[in-house]
Structure 1
C-alpha cells in the first residue's frame, strides 16, 4: 500500500488534485474565524487579518505534521472545540471585556500547547486516553453543542445583525441549511464531502443578491504581501480559569488526534505505531503554541480527511503537499483574507449547522454505547443538568466571585466536564468498565 502513496499523478491531474485538497482545507478553515470575529465584534479588517493568520497556521501545521509529525495526508483545520471555547467565552463577556478575553485566550493556547508538547515526550498516551471514556466524551460533545446553540440561532435568525428576528436572513439561512443537509444525506462522492463548502458558496451568492454582504470599513490600503503579526490581539494575559479551560480542551483533543490518525491510516491501509501518535500529539501541541503566538484558533487533525480520500480516491502525498502549501502561501497575501472576510457570519453559521448537529449525534452515540446502569445514568444526568444549568445563569450572577474563579464557574461546559470526570473516575469509580463499546 505504501507504493500507492508514493505513486504520484503527473501534469494537469496533479494540479487538479492539489486544488481539490486546497479547496477542501479552505472549506474547513474559513468559517471559524468569520464566526469568532463576529462573536468578538471584530472589525472587517481585523476579521480579514484573522482569516489570513488562520490560513497560515492551518497550512503550516499540516506541512509540519506531514514531514515531522504523524506523516500522513491528514489536514489540520480549526478545531470545533477550540472555537466553541472562543464563542462560549464571548457569550459571557461584556462588550468592554472581549478584547481582554482574546488576550487571555492567547495565553490559554500557549499553555495548552506547552502541556501537549511535554506530554508528547512522555510515555503516558495510553493513560491520558483512558480518562476520556465514551461517557466523558459523550457528555462533553453534548454540552459543547448546547453551549453553541444560542450563538447559532442568533446568527441564523438575524438577531446578531439587527437585534431581532430578520425574516430575510432567516429564510436565506434555512435555504443554506437545507442545501447542506440534502448533500450530506443524498449526495455521492465528492458532492457529499464538499457539502459545507457548497453551502458557503451558495449562501454567499444569495446574501450578495439581497444586499446583505458587510462592507469593508478598513480605509487603509491593503498591501499585496504581508507577514502575519504576532500577538495581534495584544500581549497574552493570564487568567487561571481560561488557562485551565484551555489546557483541558487540549487534553480532550488528544482523543481527536488519535482517532483522526487511526481512521486515515485505516483508509490508506498503512500501519501506525505508538510513535506515530506521539509525533502527531507533538505537532498538535506546536500548532496550539503557534495559534497563541499568531492570535488565531487552535488547529486539530481533521478526521474528515479520511472521507475525502475515500470519495476522491486521491491517495498520493504529492497533491496533498501542494494543496497545503498553496493554503500556507495564501496566508501571506492580505487580499485573500479580505475576500473571505466578506463572508457573512450568518452563512458560516448556517453552513456549519448540520456538521455541528452531527457532533451532537456523535455524543449521543457514545452514550448509547454504554450499558444503561443506574450508575451511568446518574453520572450522565448530573453532569448534563449541572453544566446546562450553569449556562442558563446570567453573567451578573457570578459578579461577586474572584475573577479567576468566575472564568471557571461561569463556564457551564467546563463545570459539566469537570463534574463528569470526577463522577466517572473518582466518586463513582468502577474497577471494571461496563462499556464494551469503548474497546
Structure 2
C-alpha cells in the first residue's frame, strides 16, 4: 500500500520527486541485505571464540573484525570479483571444521592454542593455493574435479555436520554434565517459533524469521535467565592470531589445508547457481577473480582469527524470494554492514548473545541446506550399482562424524585430524569414486528399488 501511495504522490511531481521515489526502494532493499548478512554472520565469531576459550574482549574484537571484513568482502566481490549479488561470508565447511577440531582437542592431546596455530598455518597455505588458482585461471580444471555428484555429497555431509553442531550447541548442560532443562526448553521453543515463521509466514516475516528468532530468543533468555549471559565485554583488546600463533602441527595443518581446498566448491556452486538465475553462462574470469579475492580473504582471516570466507549458495534462495536482483542494493548493504563494525559498542553488545539461542535459530536455518542437497540429485537415476556413488561417501562420512576421535589415536599424529573428519573424508572418497569409475556404464532406466 505504501508503494502505491508513494507512486501516486510522485506522478506529476517533477523529476526531483521521481529521484526520491527511485531511491526509496533501493535504500529499503539495502537495509534488507544488511539484515540478511547479519543473520548469517553474527553467530560465527561468537561460537568460535567460545569454542577456543577466548576472553570476552577478544571475542568482541573478532566480532567487530568480522562485521567490517564481511561487508567489505561482499562489496569487493560485487564490484570486481564474480560481480553477482552473492553474500561473501564465513564458510560453513570451515566453521564446522574449527568447531570439530576444538571439540577434539583432548582426544588429539593438544591444547586449543596449538590447534588454533595449526589452523592458521593451514589457512594461509590454502589461501596461497586459491590465489594461485585464480591468477593462473585454473577454475576450469577445478570444475572437472568438483563434479555435480561430488557437490551433492558435499552438501549432504555439510548439512549433517552443521546440524550435529547446532543441535548439541542449543542444549545447555549443567556443571555436572546433565541437561539444563529450562534453558534447553527455551532453545527448543525458539526452533519451533522460527520454523513456524519460516513455513507459515509470508513476505518479510518468512524472509527474516532467523533474525526474529534471534531477537525474541535473546529477550526471553535475558528475562528468564538474567545471570546466564554468554559473554560480557567491557573493553576490547586487539591481537594478531587470537586463536593461536602459526605452527607446524602437521596433522592440523594438513586437515585445514585440505578443507580450504575443498572450500573452493562453494565458489563454483554459487557462481553456477547465480548464472542459472540470471540466465547466463558465467565467464571463466568471474571464477578466477572470485577465487583470487577469496584467497586474500582467507589469508587475512587467519591473522584476525576469523573463519575463512566463501560465496554463500544460500543467497540464491534470498534472491528468489525477494526478486531484488540488482547489484546496487547489495553493494550498499555490504557497505552499511561494514560501518556497524566501526562502532565499538556493537562488538561488545553482540558478544553477549546467548549461544544456545544462536545455535537454535541456525539449526532451523541450515535445515534448508539439506533441501538443497536433495534438489542437487533430482533427475539422477540410481540402481543397485550406481547407488554406491552417493550412498558410500555420504554414509561413510556420517559414520566418521559419530565415532569418538579417540579411536584414531593409534594412527600417526599428522593423520588423526584428517581421518577423524567425516566431511573431508566423505568428499575425498566421492572424488576418488567419480574419477576412477565410469558410472554411466552401470546406469539403466530403472530406478533403484530396495
Normalised to the residue count of structure 1, the TM-score between the two structures is 0.86
The correspondence for 2:129, drawn from 115, 123, 141, is 115
C-alpha displacement of 1:264: 3.7
C-alpha displacement of 1:150: 3.9
Aligned to 1:85: 97
Counterparts of 1:366 and 1:164, CA distance in 2: 39
Q: Secondary structure at the match of 1:77?
A: strand
Aligned to 1:19: 31
Q: Deviations over 1:316-370 (max 9, x none)?
A: 4443323212222322333211111111111111101122222233334434543
Structure 1 residues without counterparts, runs of 5 or longer: 1-6
Aligned partners of 2:96 and 2:165 also within 8 Å: no
The correspondence for 1:305, drawn from 276, 292, 315, is 315
Q: Indicate yes or no: 2:344 matched with 1:334.
A: yes
Aligned partners of 2:171 and 2:179 also within 8 Å: yes
User: After the TM superposition, which of the residue ranges 383-392 and 406-415 deviates more from structure 2?
Assistant: 383-392
1:404–1:36 Cα change, 3 Å: same
Q: Deviations over 1:300-322 (max 9, x none)?
A: 22234344344445444443323
Structure 2 residues without counterparts, runs of 5 or longer: 1-18, 446-450
Counterparts of 2:324 and 2:170, CA distance in 1: 35
Aligned to 2:293: 283
Q: Indicate yes or no: 2:209 matched with 1:195.
A: yes
Aligned to 2:199: 185
Q: Secondary structure at the match of 1:28?
A: helix
The correspondence for 1:39, drawn from 30, 51, 57, is 51
User: After the TM superposition, which of the residue ranges 103-112 and 335-344 deviates more from structure 2?
Assistant: 103-112
Q: Deviations over 1:376-419 (max 9, x none)?
A: 32343332343333334333323333321112122222222222
C-alpha displacement of 1:98: 1.7
Q: Indicate yes or no: 2:208 matched with 1:167.
A: no
C-alpha displacement of 1:430: 4.2
Counterparts of 2:442 and 2:124, CA distance in 1: 35
Counterparts of 1:371 and 1:431, CA distance in 2: 10
Between the two proteins, the alignment pairs up a number of residues equal to: 424
C-alpha displacement of 1:283: 1.8
Normalised to the residue count of structure 2, the TM-score between the two structures is 0.84
User: After the TM superposition, which of the residue ranges 266-275 and 54-63 deviates more from structure 2?
Assistant: 266-275
C-alpha displacement of 1:194: 1.6
1:331–1:259 Cα change, 3 Å: same
Aligned partners of 2:82 and 2:287 also within 8 Å: yes
1:353–1:112 Cα change, 3 Å: same
**Larger Rg belongs to:** 2
Q: Secondary structure at the match of 2:310?
A: strand
Q: Deviations over 1:259-308 (max 9, x none)?
A: 32344455456764221222122222222122112210112222343443
The correspondence for 2:357, drawn from 347, 359, 375, is 347
Aligned to 2:11: none
C-alpha displacement of 1:29: 0.5
User: After the TM superposition, which of the residue ranges 286-295 and 207-216 deviates more from structure 2?
Assistant: 207-216
Q: Secondary structure at the match of 2:89?
A: strand
Counterparts of 2:249 and 2:272, CA distance in 1: 35
The correspondence for 1:210, drawn from 202, 213, 224, is 224
Aligned to 1:3: none
Matches within 5 A, 1:120-269: 120-159=134-173, 163-211=177-225, 213-214=228-229, 216-218=231-233, 222=235, 229-267=239-277
Q: Secondary structure at the match of 2:86?
A: coil
Q: Secondary structure at the match of 1:376?
A: coil
User: After the TM superposition, which of the residue ranges 369-378 and 284-293 deviates more from structure 2?
Assistant: 369-378
Aligned to 2:384: 374
Q: Deviations over 1:142-163 (max 9, x none)?
A: 3333334443232222137773
1:392–1:259 Cα change, 3 Å: closer
Q: Secondary structure at the match of 1:403?
A: coil
1:264–1:138 Cα change, 3 Å: closer
Counterparts of 1:8 and 1:119, CA distance in 2: 44
1:236–1:411 Cα change, 3 Å: same
C-alpha displacement of 1:47: 2.1
